[in-house]
Amino acid sequence: MVTQPAGSFSRACLILVPWLTLSLGGCANLGYYAQSVRGQLEISAHSRPIAQVLNDAGADAAIKERLRLVLALREFAVTALALPDNGSYRAYADLGRAFAVWNVFATPELSLRPVHSCFLIVGCLNYRGYFREADARAYADDLRRAGDDVHVGGVVAYSTLGWFDDPVLDTMLRWDDAHLAKFLFHELAHQKLYIKDDSDYNEAFATAVAEEGWRRWREARRLPAGDDSELQYEAEVIRLVLATKGRLEALYSSPSSAGEKRRRKKQIFEDLRADYDNLREHWGGRYDAYDRWMRGELNNAKIMAVATYHGLIPAFTALLSAAGDDLPRFYALAAKVGHLPPEERAACMEQLRRSSADGLSHCKNIN
């Protein structure tokens, strides 16, 4: 089994299509535009139809086995999950590196508000993605010098929202079946629904679809339950991180002085490490995948990166319940909520989080 790399929460991540349009920063971002073009062209050059790989007598047998699973998952995504039926994930590209892209998250020192990267077509994102780690770290250094909290995270998959036929990457195949399935379902969910200027909504929606898709895949294949302890450990760590986010938000909105906020911020992160150590003790030392993440620098950007993917999951779970567990209806409701004005959308999601499926009755303009 391929386990989750130490220090990484993001199983899949969205890098949009900035190579189609300059960012709102104009000429100052020509370098970013150029690296995006090069990165996409490189992936295209390495792509081969999966059918061609399967018919290649010289291709690695283990890769072929994983690609057969990809084709089965891809068909399931269309027939059982009502996800897009197009050319995405029907080709394979071996990149020969640890991650597909590196995303840079940043926040001000005393805020969880993300430093956005904004583009004419796709809107503003909570992060900026780079095809080369060195480029990502150079941008991160610039943000640190400006006084921001910064986190750089490598991710194994990305979506162009259907602008291109995204291939399956070797970075995805190194993981176990559950992660591979979730990667595919997550990225295809981005093609199903994308709300401009709301990374939290988009990523949590895609993560919710991925989790539900994996549950249905297992049920349809009558797969044994197996050992889900690692998923449980992950869920417990995410709860810790989201609770820390709540404490930080309360601190930053308080009337305390900047100096007092810095002191209490440091204590909150120390508490997070202590709480994690207690979890590890409860686990009996059986799992250490998050040790590196916790032992490294803890800051606002790192917390925000996790919250982007998981903060709205309870609300989407409630929305799925409100849809009677019918995925097409769920997608339609998610689109209606997503297209509400931002303040109404946020209020609706908060009602869903607090009141479960009944919360939808409090959302304006949603039938």
Q: How many CB atoms lie within 10 A of CB 288?
A: 13
Residue 99, token pair as written in the block: 């991650």
User: Residue ranges of the alpha helices (H) in 22-60?
Assistant: 30-46, 50-54
Of 239, 187, 238, 236, nearest to 210 (Cα)?
187
pLDDT digits (tens, 9 = 90+) for 13-70: 444 444 343 444 444 477 787 888 888 889 989 999 999 999 999 999 999 999 999 9
Q: How confident is the model over 211-258, as pLDDT tens digits?
A: 999 999 999 999 886 667 787 898 999 999 999 999 999 999 999 999
pLDDT of residue 162: 85
Q: Give the Å distances, CA to CA, from 62 to 58, 113, 176.
A: 12, 44, 13
Instruction: Please tell me the distance from the alpha carbon of residue 168 to that of residue 171, in angstroms, as a whole number.
Output: 8
Give tens-digit pLDDT for 126-166.
999 999 999 999 999 999 999 999 999 998 988 888 888 99
- Percentage of the residues of the chain whose pLDDT score is greater than 90: 71
The answer to whether the CB of 186 falls within 8 A of the CB of 153 is no
Report the pLDDT value the prediction gives residue 225, as an integer from 0 to 100: 67
Q: What is the mean pLDDT of the chain?
A: 89
Name the residue ranges covered by the structural domains of the chain.
Answer: 18-221, 313-362
Tell me the C-alpha distance between 175 and 178, whole Å. Answer: 8
What pLDDT is attached to residue 367? 63
User: For the segment 108-121, what is each residue's pLDDT rounded down to a tens digit?
Assistant: 999 999 999 887 77
pLDDT of 5 reads 39
